[in-house]
Chain A
Amino acid sequence: MASQSQLRGRKGKGPALSGPSLEPYEEEDDHAGSGVNQSRRQSSLERTLNSDKASIAIVGVLTALAFITRFYKINHPDQVVFDEVHFGKFAAHYIQREYYFDVHPPFAKLLFGLAGWFVGFDGHFQFENIGDSYTTAHVPYVGMRALPAILGSLTVPIVYAIMKESGYSSVVSAFSAILILFDNAHVAQSRLILLDATLIFFMCLTIYSYIRFRKYRFKEFSQEWWGWMIATGVFMACTWASKVNGILTVVCIGCAVLVDLWDLLDYRKSSMERFRNHFFARAVGFILVPLIVYLSFFWMHFAVLTNSGPGDSFMSPAFQETLRGNELLLNSQEIRYFDTVTIKHKNTKVFLHSHEDRYPLKYEDGRISSQGQQVTGYGHPDSNNHWQIIPTKALPETGRARVVRHDDIVQLLHVNTESYLLTHDVASPLMPTNQEFTAWPKDDLSRYNDTLFQLHLVDAHEGEAWKSKSGHFRLVHVPTKVSMWTYQNQLPDWAFKQQEINGNKNAAEKTATWYVDEIVDSESDPSLPDRTGDTPPQEPKKMNFFKKFAELQILMLQHNAGLTASHPYASSPINWPFLLSGISFWTNADEQKQIYLIGNIVSWWTCVTAIAVFIGIIGADLLARRRNIEPIPDPVRNRLWNNTGFFILVWAVHYFPFFLMSRQLFIHHYLPSHVASALVAGSVLHYILSDDTLNYPISVRGDTMRPKRQTYADLGMRGPIALLGFTFSLLFFYIYIAPLTYGTPGLDGNQVNARRLLSTWTLHFAAKVTDGA
Chain B
Amino acid sequence: MNPTVRSRRPASPPLGFAPRYPHVREDHLDADARRAAASKGLTRRDIGRKDYPPGGLNIASAEWKVLFIIVIVAVLVRMFRLPQPNSVVFDEVHFGKFASKYIKSQYFVDVHPPLAKLLIAFAGFIFGYDGNFDFKDIAKPYENVPYVAMRMLPALMGVATIPIAYLTLRALECRATTAVLASLFLTFENGLVTQSRHILLDSPLVFFTALTTFVWTCFCNEDSHEPFTESWWTWLTLSGLSLGAVVSCKWVGLFTIATVGVGTLKQLWLLLGDLRVSPRLWMKHFLARALCLIIIPIVFYMSMFGIHFLILTNSGDGDGFMSSEFQHTLRGKGMADTYADVAIGSTVAIRHVNTQGGYLHSHPHNYPGGSNQQQVTLYPHLDSNNDWRIINATSEVDPDSDIDFDEPLTYITAGTRLKFRHISTQKYLHSHEIRPPVSDVDFQNEVSAYGMPHFVGDANDDWIVEIEKGDKRDKESGKRLRTLRTHFKLRHALTGCYLFSHKVKLPEWGYEQQEVTCNKNAVRDNSLWYIETNWHPDLPADAPKVNYRLPGFLGKFLELQQVMWNTNAGLTDRHTYDSRPDSWPRLRRGINFWVRDHRQIYLIGNPTVWWLSTFAVVAYAAVRGFLILRAKRGFRDFENTKVVKYDTLCGFLFVGWALHYFPFFLMGRQLFLHHYFPALYFAVLLCSGVFDLVTSSLRPRIRLQIAAILIIIAVWNFSYLSPIAYGSPWTKAKCNSARWLKTWDFNCNDFLDDVSSTCTS
Contacts and interface: CB of A to CB of B under 8 A. Distances in A.
Given A505-B576, A505-B745, A627-B272, A770 B466 contact: yes
A265 B275 contact: no
B633 A265 contact: yes
Interface string A662-678: 10000000000000000
B275 A770 contact: no
B633 A267 contact: yes
Nearest to B632: A265
A267 B632 contact: yes
Contact of A626 (B273, B443, B491): B273
Contacts of A568: 443, 521
Given A480-B749, A627-B272, A773-B415, A762 B496 contact: no
A262 B632 contact: yes
A506 B745 contact: yes
B576 A433 contact: yes
A315 interface: no
B666 A267 contact: no
A626 B269 CA distance: 8
A266 B272 contact: no
Contacts of B275: 627-628
Contacts of B496: 768
Contacts of A2: none
- Most B C-beta atoms less than 10 A away, residue of A434, A568, A771: A568
Interface in B380-398: none
A342 B504 CA distance: 36
B634 interface: yes
A61 to B, nearest CB: 42
Nearest to B464: A770
Interface in B734-761: 745, 747, 749
A633 B558 CA distance: 48
Contact of B272 (A623, A762, A771): A623
Interface string A748-773: 00000000000000100000101111
Contacts of B279: 627
A660 interface: yes
A265 B628 CA distance: 11
- Most B C-beta atoms less than 10 A away, residue of A265, A268, A627, A628: A627
Contacts of B42: none
A262 B628 CA distance: 11
A366 to B, nearest CB: 9
B270 to A, nearest CB: 10
Nearest to B592: A433
B633 A770 contact: no
A660 B668 CA distance: 10
A480 B745 CA distance: 12
A662 B414 contact: no
A660 B491 CA distance: 37
Contact of A770 (B415, B666, B668): B415
Nearest to A365: B137
B272 A662 contact: no
Nearest to B442: A568
A568 B491 CA distance: 19
Interface string A480-497: 100000000000000000
Nearest to A493: B508
B629 interface: yes
Interface in B488-506: 491, 496
Contacts of B749: 425, 480
A506 B578 CA distance: 12
Nearest to B465: A770
A473 B272 CA distance: 64
Interface in B149-207: none
Contacts of A425: 749
Given A433-B576, A568-B521, A627-B275, A660 B634 contact: no
A534 to B, nearest CB: 46
Contacts of A268: 634
A266 B521 contact: no
Interface string A421-452: 00001000001011000000000000000000
A763 to B, nearest CB: 11
B415 A265 contact: no
Contacts of A771: 415
Interface string B411-431: 001110000000000000000
B269 A770 contact: no
A660 B667 CA distance: 10
A558 to B, nearest CB: 15
Interface in A620-648: 623, 626-628
A768 B413 CA distance: 16
Contact of B414 (A505, A626, A660, A773): A773
A600 to B, nearest CB: 25
A675 B49 CA distance: 64
A690 B747 CA distance: 74
Given A265-B629, A627-B275, A662 B668 contact: yes
A502 to B, nearest CB: 11
Interface in B247-285: 269, 272-273, 275, 279
B464 to A, nearest CB: 7
Nearest to B272: A626
Contacts of A627: 272, 275, 279
Contacts of B632: 262, 265-267
A762 B633 CA distance: 58
Nearest to A268: B634
Contacts of A265: 629, 632-633
A762 B491 CA distance: 16
A660 B443 CA distance: 29
A89 B414 CA distance: 48
A467 B521 CA distance: 50
- Most A C-beta atoms less than 10 A away, residue of B491, B633, B634, B747: B633
- Most B C-beta atoms less than 10 A away, residue of A431, A506, A772, A773: A773
A762 B521 contact: yes
Contacts of A434: 576
B666 A660 contact: yes
Contacts of B634: 267-268
A493 to B, nearest CB: 10
B508 to A, nearest CB: 10
A762 B524 CA distance: 12
Interface in B617-666: 629, 632-634, 666
Nearest to B270: A626
Interface string B490-533: 01000010000000000000000000000001000000000000
Interface string B435-470: 000000001000000000000000000001010000
A339 B629 CA distance: 65
A149 B390 CA distance: 56
Contacts of B466: 770
Contacts of A506: 745
A431 B577 CA distance: 13
A337 B207 CA distance: 61
Contacts of A626: 269, 272-273
A367 to B, nearest CB: 9
A660 B663 CA distance: 12
Contacts of B668: 662
A430 to B, nearest CB: 12
A568 B747 CA distance: 47
Contacts of A262: 632
List 5 tightest A-B contacts by C-beta distance, closest first. Answer: A773-B415, A267-B634, A433-B576, A267-B633, A265-B632
12 contacts: A265-B629, A266-B632, A267-B633, A568-B521, A626-B272, A627-B272, A660-B666, A662-B668, A770-B415, A771-B415, A773-B414, A773-B415
Given A505-B745, A773-B415, 4 more contacts: A265-B629, A762-B521, A770-B464, A770-B491
Interface of A: 262, 265-268, 272, 425, 431, 433-434, 480, 505-506, 568, 623, 626-628, 660, 662, 762, 768, 770-773
